[in-house]
Amino acid sequence: MKVADPCGCFPTGRHYPGIAHLLKVRAVGVASEIDAGSAWIDQPIAFIDVETTGRDPAGDRIIELGIVIGRGGEILTRYNWLIHPGRPIPAESTAIHGIKDADVEGKPSFAEVAEEILVCFKGAIPAAYNAAFDRSFLLAELDRVGMRPREPPPAMRREVDWIDPLTFARELYKNEESRALGDMAARLGITLDKAHRATDDAEAALQVLYALAKDPRVPRAYGGLIQEQRRLVRLQDEARRLWRKAPAPAAPPATKP
């Protein structure tokens, strides 16, 4: 049987299942061990949240990391690590999450807990609220300690998209003033007692994701969800680009006092 080859990847027309499978995974952004046609809500989801010394993953460090595992709309397990960043925590960062130098005194470095963190991601769909932030910090820390497992979990693979409920919140609640996690949790009746603490934020955000899943505009199939998320990200990025380019409103004409 001949296989269509629009990109010229298989010039002989023969099927190369290993290569084709990798291309498929990279094209749709799904984890290879999870069926793209399955209902994502029925799959294990590893929801991560990090608190940091600042906003730059190249120079700042993770000081708290929380992972919440969910499946079938239920919270299964919660994990939390306080991590010594190897530097003082700036006062402006403490003002956000409340974590002080004394709180991480004697706590392990990221290198000391990296392996047990990665175990939590095994076989699970990675997710985070405003995922680009948490993902960039996690991957930067793993790169920094030279973590290169032979079989990396989905969260470590750069071709695997993380589920990001914020993307869907921006679409489904586009007329609301804020889609910040605390505001979305309150809007959906979800309790968030300790905002800006990693595990509490991760659990609330996973519950937000499960609540958004009830909307028929959110695809049920894992692959469909990732493709819709990619489409929305493109639209939202373009909207922000146009907003930044829009001229500032003209000042009102001066009037005499």
Helices (H), the chain: 17-28, 91-97, 101-104, 110-121, 131-144, 165-172, 181-187, 198-212, 222-245
**Into how many domains does the chain fold?**
1
Q: Determine, yes or no, domain membership for 11.
A: no
Q: Determine, yes or no, domain membership for 91.
A: yes
What DSSP designation does 41 have? G
Q: Determine, yes or no, domain membership for 164.
A: yes
Distance, in Å, from the CA atom of 46 to the CA atom of 67, rounded to the nearest integer, reads 6
Q: Determine, yes or no, domain membership for 122.
A: yes
Identify the CA nearest to 204 among candidates 228, 183, 221.
Answer: 183
Q: What are phi and psi of 214, to 5 degrees?
A: -75, -15
pLDDT tens digits, 215-253: 999 999 999 999 999 999 999 999 888 878 777 666 565
Q: Determine, yes or no, domain membership for 9.
A: no
Assign residue 103 the CATH number of its domain. 3.30.420.10
Q: What are phi and psi of 142, to 5 degrees?
A: -65, -40
Q: Determine, yes or no, domain membership for 56.
A: yes
Q: Determine, yes or no, domain membership for 31.
A: no
Q: What are phi and psi of 83, to 5 degrees?
A: -130, 130
Q: Band the pLDDT of 129: cuts 50, 70, 90.
A: very high
> Quick check: 136 and 164 in contact, CB under 8 A?
no
Q: Determine, yes or no, domain membership for 200.
A: yes
Q: What mean pLDDT is reported for the chain?
A: 89
What is the model's pTM?
0.83
Q: Band the pLDDT of 194: cuts 50, 70, 90.
A: confident
C-beta neighbour count of 126 within 10 angstroms: 25
> What domain range is 93 assigned to?
36-239
Distance, in Å, from the CA atom of 3 to the CA atom of 78, rounded to the nearest integer, reads 46
pLDDT tens digits, 168-183: 999 999 999 999 999 9
DSSP-assigned beta bridge partners for residue 39: 221
